[in-house]
């Protein structure tokens, strides 16, 4: 039995796992999860079966989040852990997660840092811009979006000045897990129309380089869903679910 990857390509961490597995010809079963269907966001106690919160998925990932991996009886959450596990199990080319201690440390450094910098910033902007209107039936206040975008400026600068510097990729001359995690996160905002790399030509070039190293076709394929994010507006969401999600979203703009 091969591995199963529970993914929704709308989510950046899912895309990094998807791209990595495909690029390295790792055989896996794609278990489609849906974060923002009418089923998403429901509580575990809701009466109708929900996609992400159905009991089947609950057994795979008690945290009820994507991405998740199932390898026989072994289950794993958290994309950095999944990526490292796959790279070691399938002995992928060294550049992804180099054996060299110092290079590996640089990958670890990025994977750790991004949790409290790039990731939450991207999450906030995406939720305000795209998710908020789905459940609250109005757009999020523009000042809140602007504020969130301003907050992104600092980590972006740090990405450029501390992590990328004058190197072609974040950890040297070849693409690594760090680049994959970074680019899939930042693509979330580029795909929904934010020119976040304005006046940052180094990052623009880096993004192109990463896309090329991944392979244009695979990169585009992985980003198809997010690039078509407008389709989410065609979803019919149950009023009950809207009521459940509303408080959380309203809190974000309080």
Residue placing its CB nearer to another protein in the complex, 38 or 172 = 172
**Minimum gap (Å) between residue 155 Cβ and another protein:** 10
**Minimum gap (Å) between residue 215 Cβ and another protein:** 26
Residue placing its CB nearer to another protein in the complex, 21 or 232 = 21
Residue placing its CB nearer to another protein in the complex, 63 or 250 = 63
Cα distances from 174 to residues 113, 164, 212, 231, in angstroms, run 20, 12, 11, 35
**Minimum gap (Å) between residue 79 Cβ and another protein:** 8
Residue placing its CB nearer to another protein in the complex, 37 or 244 = 244
Q: What ranges in 61-176 are assigned the alpha helix state H?
A: 79-89, 101-113, 118-126, 132-136, 142-158
CA angle at 193 for the pair 187 and 199, rounded to the nearest 5°: 75
Determine the Cα–Cα distance for residues 63 and 155; give it in Å rounded to an integer. Answer: 27
**Minimum gap (Å) between residue 193 Cβ and another protein:** 25
Binding site for another protein (CB under 8 A): 62-63, 74, 76-82, 84-85, 88-89, 101-102, 104-106, 108-109, 111-113, 115-116, 119-120, 158, 161-162, 254
117: left (phi over 0), alpha (psi -120 to 50) or beta: alpha
Determine the Cα–Cα distance for residues 97 and 24; give it in Å rounded to an integer. Answer: 13
**Minimum gap (Å) between residue 218 Cβ and another protein:** 24
State CA 3 to chain mean position distance: 20
Residue placing its CB nearer to another protein in the complex, 37 or 144 = 144
Residue placing its CB nearer to another protein in the complex, 137 or 161 = 161
**Minimum gap (Å) between residue 239 Cβ and another protein:** 26
Determine the Cα–Cα distance for residues 145 and 50; give it in Å rounded to an integer. Answer: 30
CA angle at 203 for the pair 83 and 212, rounded to the nearest 5°: 60
């Amino acid at each position: 039995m091969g591995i199963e990857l529970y993914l929704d390509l709308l989510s950046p961490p899912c895309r990094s796992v998807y791209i990595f597995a495909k690029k390295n010809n790792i055989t896996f079963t794609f278990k489609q999860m849906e974060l923002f269907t009418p089923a998403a966001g429901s509580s575990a106690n809701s009466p109708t079966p929900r996609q992400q919160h159905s009991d089947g998925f609950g057994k795979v990932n008690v945290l009820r989040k994507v991405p998740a991996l199932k390898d026989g009886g072994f289950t794993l959450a958290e994309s950095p852990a999944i990526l490292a596990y796959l790279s070691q199990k399938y002995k992928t080319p060294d550049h992804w997660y180099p054996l060299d201690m110092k290079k590996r440390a640089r990958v670890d450094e990025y994977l750790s840092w991004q949790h409290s910098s790039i990731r939450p910033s991207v999450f906030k902007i995406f939720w305000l811009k795209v998710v908020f209107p789905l459940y609250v039936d109005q757009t999020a206040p523009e000042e809140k979006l602007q504020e969130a975008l301003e907050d992104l400026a600092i980590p972006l600068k740090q990405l450029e000045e501390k992590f990328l510097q004058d190197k072609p990729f974040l950890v040297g001359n070849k693409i690594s897990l760090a680049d994959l995690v970074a680019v899939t996160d930042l693509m979330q905002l580029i795909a929904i129309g934010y020119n976040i790399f304005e006046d940052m030509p180094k990052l623009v070039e880096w993004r192109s380089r990463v896309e090329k190293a991944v392979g244009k076709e695979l990169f585009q394929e992985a980003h198809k869903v997010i690039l078509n994010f407008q389709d989410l507006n065609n979803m019919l969401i149950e009023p009950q679910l809207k009521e459940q999600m509303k408080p959380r979203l309203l809190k974000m703009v309080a």
